[in-house]
Amino acid sequence: MADTHPGAAPAQVHWNLDPVVEQLRMSREVTHKIRHQGTIRELPSKSALVGILHGLCAVLFPTHYGRAGLTDESIDYFVGDTLNTTLSLLSEQVRRGLVFNAEARGLPGAELGERAVRITREFASQLPSIRALLVSDLQAAYQGDPAATSIAEILLCYPGTVAVIYYRLAHALYLLGSQLVARLISDIAHSDTGIDIHPGAQIGGSFFIDHGTGVVIGQTAVIGQHVRLYQAVTLGARRFPADETGALIKGNARHPIVEDDVVIYAGATILGRITIGRGSTIGGNVWLTRDVPPGSNVSQADARSNCPE
């Protein structure tokens, strides 16, 4: 009698894999080939970037994301050692991503490696200023949320804080020319928090995303200082212009500008290159496709009555 115990090893099965593997190879190499430049197999590694992000967070906030038991005597050694290891790993991922930049096409491997080192070195030099921005974000979260009891709670428990930390790191890399790695970091943040911030977006200091699930901030969005968003807010594009061939025009400014001291409540959808004036409040579930003057308070009823025909 055959062993049917749930923990028993399955009987050897022949899957007839030879034709499947052959057909997959034909699809991969000939009929449906999508490899970059037809030859590139080496890609940045998302799993490697997860470890790199953990290292960078530990460098920025050692007692919160780093090692337990750090002292005044040991903390600088920990930061230096972690940074040295993490930057070496990051440089390799930057090098892999540079292959996908149009201006890097055809560059020899040595030159790509040198460029990756320069980008990573410049990125490292920006970490103190990135941390200063993040501290302003943490203070905004503490001041803007009556449920927050400490900065430590915000760092350890708020998904919006994780998303903003990852965004600020990704944005620096994006501006330095490492766009693919920056996009991968944004995707990691999205997977971890449910918050989708394109690394090309420009976001000022003292930025706070409360709760955060479902927030979407597009590539060309511009956000000022002291802005607060709640869950399910979308700063998106209204339409996607195409060229004469029907291909979408990429890179044009198509997302909102949100000026300083704006609050946008849960579920609001703001579309197109419109401006939300300084000091405005946008109510929950508002659908907005027009400019808003400074100091406005926009509710669902206001938005409906002012919609174009």
Band the pLDDT of 251: cuts 50, 70, 90.
confident
For position 36, what pLDDT does the model report?
64
For position 5, what pLDDT does the model report?
66
- Asked if the model's pLDDT at residue 309 lies above 50, the reply is no
**β 196-197/216-217 pair status:** parallel
Residues 89 and 161 in one domain: yes
Give every CB contact of residue 104 below 8 A, 6+ residues apart in sequence: 98, 112, 115
For position 100, what pLDDT does the model report?
87
pTM of the entire predicted model: 0.88
For position 241, what pLDDT does the model report?
79
Q: What is the CATH number of the domain that holds 239?
A: 2.160.10.10
Average pLDDT value for residue range 220-240? 96
Residues 287 and 185 in one domain: no
Give every CB contact of residue 231 below 8 A, 6+ residues apart in sequence: 210, 211, 212, 213, 214, 215, 266, 267
Per the prediction, the chain carries an average pLDDT of: 92
Residue 174's domain comprises: 42-194
Give the rounded distance of the alpha carbon of 73 from its chain centre: 34
Residues 119 and 225 in one domain: no
Residue at which a domain ends, from 143, 162, 194: 194
Band the pLDDT of 239: cuts 50, 70, 90.
confident
Beta strands across the sheet bearing 196-197: 196-197, 216-217, 234-236, 269-271, 287-288
Band the pLDDT of 166: cuts 50, 70, 90.
very high
For position 41, what pLDDT does the model report?
66
Residues 61 and 136 in one domain: yes
For position 83, what pLDDT does the model report?
98
Residues 189 and 219 in one domain: no
Largest CA distance in the chain: 81
Share of the chain above pLDDT 90, in %: 76
- Asked if the model's pLDDT at residue 9 lies above 70, the reply is no
Residues 56 and 187 in one domain: yes
- Please give the Cα distance from 37 to 76 (Å, whole number): 44
57-69 pLDDT, tens digit per residue, is 999 999 999 998 9
- Whether residue 7 lies inside any domain: the answer is no
12-57 pLDDT, tens digit per residue, is 888 899 999 998 888 888 888 777 665 666 899 999 999 999 999 9
Residue 71 CA: distances (Å) to CA of 62, 78, 117, 151: 10, 10, 31, 19
The tokens describing 123, both together, are 């990125």
Q: What is the CATH number of the domain that holds 65?
A: 1.10.3130.10
HEC string for 81-110: HHHHHHHHHHHHHHHHHHCCCHHHCCCCHH
Rg (CA), the chain: 24
Tally of domains within the chain: 2
Band the pLDDT of 103: cuts 50, 70, 90.
confident
186-199 pLDDT, tens digit per residue, is 999 999 999 999 99
- Asked if the model's pLDDT at residue 1 lies above 60, the reply is no
